[in-house]
Structure 1
């Protein structure tokens, strides 16, 4: 019920007023507005929130660390670097090839962190995200250096801020790549859960440890690269939502994955709605609201777990 209400509320928000009747009518003005702008934006919000939340669960299972997520393991910054390289060095290519370049860079740099740095400090659960954040800052510095060198730093900063205003018909369709990612993640949820029990345990059960580690990193890299390319950087959804689901529903990944996807979608819908209403009729970047509320919620989770 909350999910349906959040979707309808998101469709209604905007400078052009739409009533509940307009949402289900076929009149020319309202239908055109819905098809061009409101529906693409809402679908992008739903799939982005669900995809990032699921990516966060996968990352936590692979590293056996509740404090690790794409935004705290350098994955988000790796995707920024990769997509920027695609935009700079291959400007003639379409969106899908640029996404492929971003994906390759993101996958390679995330694999490096997962199989090297995270393994070195895996005994300290707090040290891994610290190293992950440091690793992300290094990648972000490289991205900024490229932006300064090619004199696009101002455009780049605007592009990388998480904002759904540009989710329009003809520009958002790549977000549907996240649907098979979520389905594949659900189908292999048991395998990822077993991976979270350690390499020795996984191998003893006859499961190919490196293959499923690589698959998990690949699914995460596709999700993060797609969202960065289409809407920019979205923080905390991948970190906070999985922890909330774990807090209320336990740690069974296969059972909890639908909850994780729905909670992620609802969280992003609500944050974007706040961003569109707080200085109405103008709007703030959704990432500002997500970052502020996400940091507060994560602090509460840490204090609750500390008890």
Structure 2
């Protein structure tokens, strides 16, 4: 236990340095490579007439920062979901939360095509809540619906349904070109203005997750033990779902649907730092950010000079791991 806490402390201590290094690498490598001197000059002495400087500030930096943030948000969401449900397959993408966001963003594009970015974030948050309520509500009503595999199947069915309806609506109302970005996330289209608007929501979501971390540790032991220790389990679950809704909603609003980060990263984190969610949640944020930035960089070179959607890369890691979890754990609950 002491060793795992030491590792967690080291991860958090060096995380700012890791973030800076990853941002520099992400900015440097792409269709056109940038020298380190050019990057430093663009940051310290920005020249509007310099095309490289414009690319760095308008595209490369927002992309790197956005990938770090989104990876962190989705990983924390997955950790919260797995902890509060004791479901090792729980994640925003598998449980229909991200599909709910995309569904409501599609409605937003149809009804309010000229509305501002804040309206889109609001619709994404509502959609995230809609997807979560739909999946968890139906799971609660069905016999043994809260078992890991049944919830995964239910989430996949609802997610596929919402995705199909979204694509049908976007085609019928001729907004498929505008909405395609949210179906297949492409981080190179990251909007710096949207990132600024999303930060306050992210702060609320992360603080809420950190405040719940001790309660999630107790909840992960089981509802009966949690209740026996005097914890208000339903209240903790309600606030946990709220944190998941906020973090997933802004992630989808920023870059569209990105799968499997919320599934893989919490498992990796618990393996490294143990089962105490006071360490799992912040370390999941760090490892999730690192994971998505690395996946983004890999996506640039799979079919160079053309870019592969980052969701393809996360799926290359996520699908085999998903199948491995099902084979190893079966229908047993617990994380």
TM-score (norm 2): 0.82
Give the unaligned 5+ runs of structure 2.
Answer: 1-16, 331-335
Aligned with residue 174 of structure 1, among 197, 200, 206: 197
How big is the shift at 1:217? 1.3
CA contact (8 A) 1:35 1:169 kept: no
In the alignment, does 2:245 pair up with 1:221? yes
SS at 1:142 equivalent: helix
**Structure 2 CA distance for partners of 1:103 and 1:302, relative to 1, 3 Å:** same
Task: Report Cα offsets for 1:100-145 as digits up to 9, x if no partner.
Answer: 1232232133123224415642563322212221121222222223
Which residue is 1:13 aligned to?
Answer: 29
Q: Which residue of 1 aligns with 2:93?
A: 71
Counterparts of 2:328 and 2:158, CA distance in 1: 28
> Corresponding residue for 2:286?
262
Secondary structure, counterpart of 2:308 in structure 1? coil
Separation in 2, partners of 1:33, 1:136: 36
For structure 1, list consecutive stretches of 5 or more residues without a partner in the other structure.
Answer: none
**SS in structure 2 opposite 1:66?**
coil
| Aligned partners of 1:118 and 1:128 also within 8 Å | no
Q: Which residue of 2 aligns with 1:108?
A: 130
* Alpha-carbon contact 1:44-1:175 (below 8 Å) kept: no
1:1-307 → structure 2 map (5 Å cutoff)? 3-25=19-41, 26-27=44-45, 28=47, 29=50, 31-118=53-140, 120=142, 121-122=144-145, 124-176=147-199, 177-299=201-323
TM-score (norm 1): 0.88
Q: List per-residue Cα deviations over 1:16-43 (Å, max 9, x = no partner).
A: 4322233323342354433222211111
Aligned length: 306
Residues 258-293 of structure 1 deviation map (CA, whole Å, 9 limit, x = unaligned)? 221111111111111011123333322111111122
Q: What CA distance in whole angstroms lies between the structure 2 residues aligned with 1:181 and 1:138?
A: 27
Task: Report the RMSD for the aligned CA atoms in angstroms.
Answer: 2.5
